[in-house]
Chain A
Amino acid sequence: MTESPAPAPTDAPPGLGQLFTGMLMVALSAFGGGLSAWSQRIIVEQRRWMSNEEFLTGLTVARLFPGPNQINMAVYVGTFFRGLPGALAALAGMLLVPFTLLMAIGLLYFQFHSLPALDRVLAGVVAAAAGMALSMGFKILDEYWKDPMALLLAAVTFVLMTFFHVRLVPLVLVAGPLAMAWYWPRRSQPGSPAGEPR
C-alpha cells in the first residue's frame, strides 16, 4: 500500500490528512525558529512515524537537493509515506499558516511603506538583516577550512559574482561540472571516505 514497510517503532503510516496536520503542527510549534528540531520532535518522538535514522536520512537528502531545506524535509516526509500526493499534503501543511501570515505582512508593507515612521524603523531592521545575510557564508566556512581547493573555488565564485557581476545560472552551469570533476571519487584510496582530492 505504501512505498516503505513500516519500521518497528512506528505506528500505522499516516494518511494525507494526517501528513497535512502533522506538518501544520510543526510549522505552528516552530514560530520563532528551530524548525528542524521541532519536526524531529513531532515526527519521530510524538507521532512515531519514522525512526530517527530515517529522519536523519531525510535531512541529508533535503540538504543535498535544490530547494529550501525545511521545505524539502516536508517533501521527504510526505513522499516517504504517500509519494507525490503525500509530498503536496505535507508541503501545504508546512506553508499554510506562515505563508498566509507573510502575505498579510506583505500587503501591509506595500500599502504603508512610504510612511516616514515605518521607513525609519525598517532602516534599522534592514541593517540587522544585512548582518544576518553576511554571517551565512562564515557559518559554513569551517567545513572547508582545511581544503585549499575548496577555498579557491569559493574565492573565484565570490569574485566573479561580486566584481564581475556574473549571474548565478551560467556560473553554476560552468563551475559546477568543473568542481564535480575535481571532486569525483577516486578508487585509488580504498577505505578513505569519498577519496581525498589529490
Chain B
Amino acid sequence: MAPLLLAAAAEAASCAPMRLNDLGHLLQVMGTFLGLSLFSLGGGNTLLAEYHHLSVVQYCWLRPAQFADIYALAEAAPGPSSMIVGLLGMGAGWPEGPGWALLSAYGAEIAILLPSTLLMVVACLSWNRLRESPWRVAFERGLGPITLGILFAVGVKILQTADTNAPGVVVSLLVCVLMLRTRISPLWFMAVAGGLGAFGLINR
C-alpha cells in the first residue's frame, strides 16, 4: 500500500490548474460530465475513480484530501450519493467565487444526468421490444463482471485517497466488514469515526 500512497501524493504535487476564463471553466466542467454520463454503469459508483482522476489529477479542481472529504459528505448527506458530481462542480468553480461555484455545481449535475436520463426515457418507451433482445441479455451479463472489477478498483482508490494513519485504515476495514455483515446505518459509522478524528485518534 505504501508505494501506492506515495504515488497519490506525487500526483497531487504535480497538478497545475489550467487557466481558463469563468465561462470557459464552466463549459469545461459541463463537457466533462456530459461525456461520462453514459458510462455510469451499475448505479453510478463506477465513475468515482474517474471523478478522482479528473478533479484531482487532470484539472486540479480539488486536492486529494478535499476529494476524500467530498466523497464522505455526499455519502453522509440524505439523497442519492451520486449527487457528488454537484460538489465536484462546486469545487471546480470555487476559485471564481460562491456564485460561479453554485452555477458550476448545477451545471455539473445537469450534465451528468442529462444523457443518461434521455437514454432511460427511450429505454422505458421501447422496453417491450428490448426485454427479449439478445443485446439486452448480453449487455446485462457481460457488463456485470466489469462493473464488479471497477467497484473494487474504486474502493481501493478511495482508500488511497483517504490516506489516513494506521488506526484510520483499521477503521476503514472494520466499517467495510460491518457494512457487509450488519444492517447498521452507515451514518453511525461516520459519526463514531468523526468522533475518533476529533479526539485525534484518526488523522491524516
Contacts and interface: CB of A to CB of B under 8 A. Distances in A.
Interface of A: 3, 27, 30-33, 35, 57-58, 61-72, 75-76, 79-80, 83-84, 87-88, 91, 95, 97-99, 101-103, 105-107, 109-110, 113, 117, 120-141, 143-144, 147, 149-151, 153-158, 161-162, 167-169, 171-172, 175-176, 178-185, 194
Given A68-B82, A120-B200, A126 B120 contact: no
Contact of A121 (B38, B189, B198): B198
A106 B147 CA distance: 29
B80 A98 contact: yes
B69 to A, nearest CB: 5
A180 B138 contact: yes
Given A70-B80, A151-B145, A184-B138, A124 B180 contact: no
Contacts of B82: 68, 71
Interface in B151-204: 151-159, 161-162, 164, 168-169, 171-176, 178-180, 185-187, 189-190, 192-198, 200-204
Contacts, number: 358
Nearest to B72: A129
Interface in B28-69: 35-50, 53, 65-66, 68-69
Contacts of B12: none
A101 B80 CA distance: 12
B88 to A, nearest CB: 10
Contacts of B185: 32-33
A184 B150 contact: no
Interface of B: 35-50, 53, 65-66, 68-80, 82-83, 86-87, 90-91, 94, 98, 101-102, 105, 109, 113, 115-121, 123-125, 127, 134-159, 161-162, 164, 168-169, 171-176, 178-180, 185-187, 189-190, 192-198, 200-204
A149 B145 contact: yes
Nearest to B113: A71
B78 A121 contact: no
B142 A144 contact: no
Contacts of A117: 198
A167 B36 contact: no
B175 A132 contact: yes
Given A103-B86, A128-B194, A157-B153, 11 more contacts: A87-B120, A103-B102, A121-B195, A122-B69, A131-B171, A131-B174, A144-B148, A157-B149, A167-B53, A171-B150, A172-B41
B69 A126 contact: yes
B161 to A, nearest CB: 8
A72 B101 CA distance: 26
Contact of A110 (B75, B91, B139, B162): B91
A67 B125 CA distance: 17
B175 A140 contact: no
Contacts of A169: 35-36, 39, 50
Contacts of A129: 68, 71-72, 75-76, 158, 162, 190
A127 B162 contact: yes
Contacts of A91: 113, 117
Contact of A134 (B44, B90, B159): B159
A68 B40 contact: yes
